[in-house]
Amino acid sequence: MTQDIFQAIADPTRRAILTLIAIKALTPNAMAEKFDMTRQAVSKHIKVLHECELIRAEHAGREIYYHFNGKKMQEFDHWLAQFRQSWETQFNQLDKVLSTLKNQKK
């Protein structure tokens, strides 16, 4: 079953893992050392991120290093971009309304 990218990034631990491996590829053991949870719990988070293709595995001898998949995150960002202009327009309109109300109170 493929995981939903929104569910994957909704979890703060998974976001923290993404932040860690965006800086440097890590093994599951190295990741587990950064969190107050078991190696098995971290592995479950890694599995979700891997299924969403937000991270990719690279075997190096007996170790598996997980890397941040910037291309997948870029796809997600492109999808969000279609909404960004609408949000900015609405925020600008709200700023104008609030500014007008503030000036009326003076």
Please compute the mean of the pLDDT values over residues 49-70 and round it to a whole number: 95
Please compute the mean of the pLDDT values over residues 70-90 and round it to a whole number: 88
Please compute the mean of the pLDDT values over residues 48-74 and round it to a whole number: 94
| Residue where the block lists tokens 């170790």 | 63
| pLDDT reading at 71 higher than 60 | yes
Instruction: Answer for the pair 26, 19: CB distance below 8 angstroms, yes or no.
Output: no
Q: Which CATH number fits domain 1-68: 3.30.450.20, 1.10.10.10, 3.90.79.10, 3.40.50.300?
A: 1.10.10.10
Domain ranges of the chain: 1-68, 71-106
CB atoms within 10 A of CB 27: 14
Instruction: Note the pLDDT tens digit of each residue in 1-57.
Output: 567 888 899 999 999 999 999 999 999 999 999 999 999 999 999 999 999 999 999
